[in-house]
Every structure is written in C-alpha cells, then in structure tokens.
Amino acid sequence: MAVVGRLDAAQAPAAQTFLDRLSGPVVLDCTRLDYISSAGLGVLLKTQKRLMANAGRLRLRGVSRHVRDILVYSGFDQIIEIEAAP
C-alpha cells in the first residue's frame, strides 16, 4: 500500500484507522510521501508496536531523502526498517 502526500495531523487519524486493520508484515510504499510530521511519526510508532506484539513488523519502502532525514533524526531508523528511494 502507498502513502501519498503528507502524513501530518490532518491525515493521521485516517491513516491510523486504516493501519489498525492490518496485520502481519506490512510494507508501506513511501515513494510519493512528501512530508511526515510528529503526528505521522506517532502513527508509525503505534503501528510498529502493535505489529511487533503480534510477531509482525512495519517496513517503509522508497523513502525520499527528506523524509528519511526526518525519520533518522527522530531515531525511527532504529525502530522501523527503512529502504531509501533509488
């Protein structure tokens, strides 16, 4: 599944509702993700914790340099597997 545009406070509730329905290993295509805020980071963290509690995990694929910088600066590269965009 793909994340498009911004994952910020305006989109976080809908994103969380959607991700809460998923189980097992989840791969998010972030090729078209332009920005992520602290609210978006919270969605990813909550999702990763829930998945790990059930032997799953979250992986982000195609992450842009800008979004990857945000994830690294906030320590999310230690929590979630991140694959950079080619």
Domain coordinates in residue numbering, the chain: 2-14+25-84
CATH topology of domain 2-14+25-84: Transcription Regulator spoIIAA (3.30.750)
Q: What sign does the dihedral 2-16-71-83 (CA atoms) show?
A: negative
Q: Of the candidates 4, 38, 3, 37, which has an alpha carbon nearest to the alpha carbon of residue 19?
A: 3
Average pLDDT over residues 6-21: 97
- Residue 16: is its pLDDT beyond 90? yes
Encoded tokens for 13 = 């509730």
> Residue 32: how many CA atoms within 13 Å on its side-chain side?
5
Please report which confidence band the pLDDT of residue 84 belongs to, taking 50, 70 and 90 as the band edges.
Answer: confident
What amino acid is encoded at 8 in this protein? D
7 - beta bridge partners? 36
Instruction: For residues 81-85, give the mean pLDDT.
Output: 89
Strands (E), 1-86: 2-7, 25-36, 57-63, 81-84
Please give the model's pTM, rounded to 2 decimal places.
Answer: 0.93
